[in-house]
Amino acid sequence: MHFRPPTSLEKYIQESGRAGRGGQPSRATLYFNKSDIAANRPGMTDKMRRYCKSDDLCLRLLLAKHFGLSETLFEGEKKNCCSSCRNDE
């Protein structure tokens, strides 16, 4: 659970990747407010800001694309993907 977003997608993937190691199911929850992603927050990248604000694109796919992948390996139900995909149902 994140109560403030890290400043970059690289840091976020590192932190959220700690859950679910060993093949166990996991869930990452990111809480933030406008000051957490403000333009004057030192080190905060625009890509991390966009990730936090996104509510219409698959968050899993956004992370995959950031790291040079064009798709994800997730084949489960949309309700188990990300908050954006759950909202599509």
Same domain (yes/no): 49, 70: no
What pLDDT is recorded for position 21?
74
Same domain (yes/no): 4, 40: yes
Same domain (yes/no): 40, 76: no
Same domain (yes/no): 47, 9: yes
Same domain (yes/no): 65, 45: no
Per-residue pLDDT of the chain (89 residues; tens, 9 = 90+): 778 899 999 999 888 877 777 777 788 888 999 999 999 999 999 999 999 999 888 998 999 999 999 887 777 888 888 888 887 75
Residue 62 domain boundaries: 58-89
Same domain (yes/no): 49, 34: yes
* Per-residue 3-state assignment (H helix, E strand, C coil) for the chain: CECCCCCCHHHHHHHHCCCCHHHCCCCCCECCCCCCCCCCCCCCCHHHHHHHHCCCCCHHHHHHHHCCCCCCCCCCCHHHCCHHHHHHC
Same domain (yes/no): 20, 44: yes
Look at the chain and report how many structural domains it folds into: 2
What pLDDT is recorded for position 17?
77
